[in-house]
Chain A
Amino acid sequence: MLTRREFIKKSAQGASLLTLGSLISGCFSRGFFQNHLRRMSREEAKRTIQRLEDEYRHEFSRQVKVKDTPAQQDVLFGMAIDLSKCIGCRRCVWACTKENNQSRDPQITWIDVFEMKHGSSMELALDQGTRYYRREMVPAKGHFYLPVQCQQCQDPPCVKVCPVKATWKEPDGIIVIDYDWCIGCRYCLAACPYGARRYNWGRPTLPAEELNPNVHLLGNRPRSKGEVEKCTFCLHRTREGLYPVCVEVCPTGARKFGNLLDPKSVIRKILAEKNVFVLKPELNTKPRFYYYFS
Chain B
Amino acid sequence: MKTKGSNLPNLLFTGGAGYYLWLSFLGAAVVAGALAYILQIRHGLIITGMRDPFPWGLYIANFTFLVGIAAAAVLVVIPSYLYHYQPLKEVCLIGEFLSASSIVMALLFVVIDLGRPDRFWHIIPGFGLLHFPQSAMAWDCLVLWGYLVLNLLLCGYILRCKYQSRQPSTALLMPLIYLSILWAISIHTVTAFIYSSLSSHPTWHQAIMMPRFLASAFSSGPAFLILILQIIGRCTRWPVEKKALHKLAEIMTIALFFNLFMLGAEILVETYAAAHHLTHRLYLLFGLQGHTALVAPTWLAIGAQVCALILLLFPKARQNLKLLNLCCTSIFVSIWFEKGIGLLALGFIPSSSGEIFEYHPTLAEITITAAIWAIGLLIFTLLVKLAVAVETGALQQAAHAQGEQPKSRESEQIGQEAKPLSG
Contacts and interface: CB of A to CB of B under 8 A. Distances in A.
Contact of B353 (A148, A165, A185): A148
B129 interface: yes
Central interface residue in B56, B116, B351, by most chain A CB within 10 Å: B116
Interface stretch (B25-33, B133-141, B143-151, B251-259): B133-141
Contacts of B352: 124, 192-195
A41 to B, nearest CB: 16
Contacts of B50: 201
Interface in A92-142: 106, 112, 114, 123-131
B115 interface: yes
Given A125-B279, A190-B201, A199 B129 contact: no
B354 A124 contact: yes
B195 to A, nearest CB: 8
Contacts of A186: 55-56, 113, 115
A157 B238 CA distance: 50
B119 A183 contact: yes
Interface in B93-118: 110, 113-116, 118
Interface string B38-51: 00000111101011
A163 B200 contact: no
A101 B343 CA distance: 35
Interface stretch (B120-128, B210-218, B220-228, B241-249): B120-128
Given A36-B129, A164-B123, A226-B44, A128 B197 contact: no
B355 interface: yes
Interface of B: 43-46, 48, 50-53, 55-56, 110, 113-116, 118-120, 122-123, 128-131, 134-138, 141, 194, 197-201, 276, 279, 288-289, 347-348, 350-356
Nearest to A182: B116
A193 B199 CA distance: 8
Given A187-B135, A193-B200, A201-B45, A227 B116 contact: yes
Contacts of B56: 186, 190
Nearest to A38: B129
B44 A225 contact: yes
| A-B CB proximity, top 6 nearest | A184-B115, A226-B115, A202-B46, A195-B353, A193-B200, A163-B137
B52 A198 contact: yes
A7 interface: no
Nearest to B127: A33
Interface residues of A, number: 50
A209 to B, nearest CB: 24
A160 B134 contact: yes
A186 B46 CA distance: 13
Contacts of B43: 202-203
Given A124-B353, A163-B131, A227 B115 contact: yes
A180 to B, nearest CB: 8
Nearest to A157: B200
A107 to B, nearest CB: 11
B55 A126 contact: no
Contacts of A181: 119, 122, 129
Contacts, number: 148
16 contacts: A127-B279, A131-B353, A148-B353, A161-B135, A161-B136, A161-B198, A163-B141, A183-B122, A183-B123, A186-B55, A190-B55, A190-B56, A191-B198, A202-B46, A227-B116, A283-B199
B44 A202 contact: yes
A54 B351 CA distance: 39
A39 interface: yes
A152 to B, nearest CB: 16
Contact of B197 (A131, A161, A162, A198): A161
Nearest to B349: A126
B129 A225 contact: no
Interface in A160-217: 160-166, 181-187, 189-195, 197-203
Given A32-B118, A126-B356, A187 B289 contact: no
Contact of A201 (B51, B199, B348, B350): B51
B55 A39 contact: no
Given A194-B353, A283-B200, A163 B123 contact: yes
Nearest to B115: A184
A163 B135 contact: yes
B112 to A, nearest CB: 11
Central interface residue in B45, B136, B201, by most chain A CB within 10 Å: B45
A227 B122 CA distance: 14
Nearest to A204: B44
A270 B219 CA distance: 57
Nearest to B194: A187
Given A162-B131, A186-B56, A203 B119 contact: no
Contacts of A157: 198-200
Interface string A263-294: 00000000000000000100100000000000
Contacts of A126: 279, 288-289, 350, 354-356
B184 to A, nearest CB: 22
Contacts of A193: 199-200, 352
Nearest to B113: A185
B38 to A, nearest CB: 15
Nearest to B45: A201
Given A194-B353, A199-B115, A189 B52 contact: yes
Nearest to A164: B122
A226 B41 CA distance: 10
A225 B131 CA distance: 23
Given A189-B55, A201-B44, A123 B129 contact: no
Contact of B55 (A128, A199, A226): A199
B46 A106 contact: yes
B119 to A, nearest CB: 5
B44 A200 contact: yes
